[in-house]
Amino acid sequence: MKLHHHRHRQLHGGVSAAAFLLVVLPLVASSSSNHASSTVLSDANASKLRHSRLFKNALQRQSSNEQLSDLWTPLSNQGWKPFSESTSASSSLPESTGYIQVFLDGGLNQQRMGICDAVAIAKILNATLMIPYLEVNPVWQDTSSFTDIFDVDHFVNILKDDISIIRELPDEYAWSTREYYASAIRSTRIKNAPLHASANWYLENVAPVLESYGIAAISPFSHRLAFDNMPIEIQRLRCKVNFEALVFVPHVRSLGEALVSRLRYPIVESIDAVGTKYIRQVIDTKDGLGAGKFVSLHLRFDKDMAAHSACDFGGGKAEKVALAKYRQTIWQGRVMNSRYTDEELRNQGRCPLTPEEIGLLLAALGFDNTTRLYLASHKVYGGEARIAALRQLFPYMEDKKSLASSAERAKIKGKASLSAAVDYYVSMHSDIFISASPGNMHNAMVGHRTYLNLKTIRPNMVLLGQLFMNKSMSWSDFQEAVVEGQRNRLGEIKERKPKQSIYTYPVPDCVCQQR
């Protein structure tokens, strides 16, 4: 593999790889942190530290070996394993009743759930599924199609015994396009599917359209299939799609693999005794229980999220006005949270954690300043200035830009969905995952990692919202409250309750008990 990441350089004279990692890396990280700090001071729109008292103590924290050992230890077997039997009762598919099209809104993870539901509905109706159409997200403006993101050959092959899938409609139905349905009311378009509709709703309302026209297009199609009162074979088919059939295209997987490798084993540019430069990837042999491991942090702190939350993030009057204006432009005031005060929102756990706050949470849990952190994020509102506090607490923080060259990132440049797919891949291969904000990425990752029994930190948002409002709390009291409040929220399996998503809580629908 050709390596492009030259972040760490070995001193001339043959210093060992282990010593290099111990001596040189902190100097590089310190320089990066100082630069980030100066950015905070020079950026008029950047937020100042909101929890300076806690932050000062967090910088001086010391974690015990026992704490670190507990954090990095993989989850023990919790008595469940993925359901591996075929979801089809028969080796042959019934005669197709017609063609189903779906048009999916949202970002990558919302569309992912829609794809799973589309397969389930095709199965319920004995219909042939046209590869789902991905709408252009108004926020991300990404035109990526299903085949740009997912390995379509794998998708079709894994599901070949469950439903029929086609990539293009037959010529006689070539008129059934996105533009056709956008231009007028059409009898083949189903636009009244309720949220979380039952299987019977589709049999009563969509099956007749298929019988009359041979095709039905469902739009909008987001969260349009219920999670309760479904046949077990339909539930397991949804699981099969999500956890087995949806695999990213090869170039996304390749980039993801490279990033994971570089997080575990930093790349070093060395100079030998005769002055020849060479690059090598080394195993981190420094002392510490987190050596070779990393945490993936989904820091969803973009302007869209900040505006929709209606919380105060410390940016002053200018930030409040800017977010209010954005909120009005995008949602015309239809944001429920905007009716509440910031204090009320925080007491209810409705405010996403800022980079500073997620850093304090991780520090309180026991992660030290040698912890490698992968930042899975699109564009952080406030830029580097907003991230500076987190970077000071965790100087070994990386992202796609720091780990890969511009040439390696060329295929995902300007493509929010592909960028999110890379983050998803890296996050699935991290030792620990944590999200700063409940949302579709958080929900998808919690479910997928639960399915594979991987450690995931689920922040106690209500507790943290209340703790961060207490400006007089000492570091020891804060740390004690965090550790206690996060107990049993580090990957312990939670069984799905009525109305909860099967994609977030795959137990017991997607798994079976081990004997």
Per-residue confidence (pLDDT) for residue 261, from 0 to 100: 96
106 and 237 housed in the same domain: yes
pLDDT of 24 reads 31
- CA separation for the pair 335, 338 (Å, rounded): 6
**Token pair listed for 463:** 């507790």
Considering the domain architecture, whether residues 128 and 105 belong to the same structural domain is answered as yes
Q: Looking at 215, 247, 279, which one is the last position of a domain?
A: 247
Residue 364 and residue 370: Cα distance in Å, rounded? 15
Assess whether 256 and 210 both reside in one domain: no
Domain termination residue (choose one: 230, 247, 264): 247
Would you say residue 28 lies in a domain?
no
Q: What kind and span of H or E run contains 117?
A: helix 108-125
The answer on 282 and 165 residing in a single domain is no
pLDDT for 33 equals: 36
Q: Could you give the CA distance from residue 309 to residue 65 in angstroms, rounded to a whole number?
A: 38
Residue 288 tokens read as 């510490």
pLDDT in tens, the chain (515 residues): 434 443 443 322 333 333 333 333 332 333 333 333 333 333 444 458 999 999 999 999 988 888 888 899 999 999 898 886 666 656 689 999 999 999 999 999 999 999 999 999 999 999 999 999 999 887 778 899 999 999 999 999 999 999 999 999 999 999 999 999 999 999 999 999 999 999 999 999 999 999 999 999 999 999 999 999 999 999 999 999 999 999 999 999 999 999 999 999 976 665 666 666 555 555 554 455 677 999 999 988 888 889 999 999 988 899 999 999 999 888 887 888 888 999 999 999 999 999 999 999 999 999 999 999 999 987 888 889 999 999 999 999 999 999 999 999 999 999 999 999 999 999 999 999 999 988 899 999 999 999 999 999 999 999 999 999 999 999 999 999 999 999 999 888 999 999 999 999 999 999 998 86
What is the DSSP code (8-state) at residue 263?
H
- End-to-end alpha carbon distance in the chain: 43
Structural domain boundaries enclosing 366: 51-78+251-301+352-513
The reported pLDDT for the residue numbered 393 is 97
Q: Residue 428: enclosing H or E segment and its boundaries? A: helix 416-428
Give Cα separations from 236 to 151, 231, 488 (angstroms).
21, 9, 27
Give how many domains the chain has, as a whole number.
2
For residue 46, being part of any structural domain is answered with: no
Q: Residue 248: what pLDDT?
A: 98
Same domain, 285 and 404: yes
Q: Is 295 helix (H, G, I), strand (E, B) or coil?
A: strand
- Degrees to nearest 5, angle at CA 426 with 421 and 432: 130
Element housing 215 (H / E): strand 215-218
Distance CA 125, CA 96 (A): 8
Pairing of strands 267-271, 277-281: antiparallel
> How is residue 275 written in tokens?
């002055």
Helix H or strand E segment including 412: none
Domain boundary among 218, 247, 276: 247
- Is 63 within the bounds of a domain? yes
Q: Considering the domain boundaries, does residue 336 fall inside one?
A: no
Three-state DSSP class for residue 267: strand
DSSP conformation class of 445: H
Q: Give Cβ neighbours of residue 286 (< 8 Å, ≥ 6 apart).
A: 18, 21, 22, 370
Are 69 and 103 in the same domain? no
pLDDT of 39 reads 34
Q: Are residues 293 and 181 in the same domain?
A: no
- Asked if residue 160 belongs to a domain, the reply is yes
Q: Are residues 72 and 107 in the same domain?
A: no
And the tokens for 178?
């996105």
Predicted confidence (pLDDT) per residue in 35-57, tens digit: 333 333 334 444 589 999 999 99
- Asked if residue 8 is part of any domain, the answer here is no
pLDDT score recorded for residue 69:
86
Residue 74 CA, distance from chain mean position:
20
Q: Has residue 41 been placed in a domain?
A: no
Q: Are residues 242 and 366 in the same domain?
A: no
Structural domain includes residue 327: no
Residues in CB range of 279: below 8 A, 6 or more apart: 3, 6, 267, 268, 269, 270
Same domain, 386 and 470: yes
Q: Are residues 255 and 198 in the same domain?
A: no
Model pLDDT, residue 66: 84
Contact residues for 97 (Cβ-Cβ < 8 A; gap 6+): 125, 126, 127, 207, 210, 211
One domain, residues 105 and 213: yes
Q: How far is CA 31 from CA 35, 37, 60, 74, in A?
A: 6, 10, 18, 33
* Of residues 245, 94, 253, 217, the one with CA closest to residue 159: 245
Is residue 408 within 8 Å of residue 374, measured between CB atoms? no
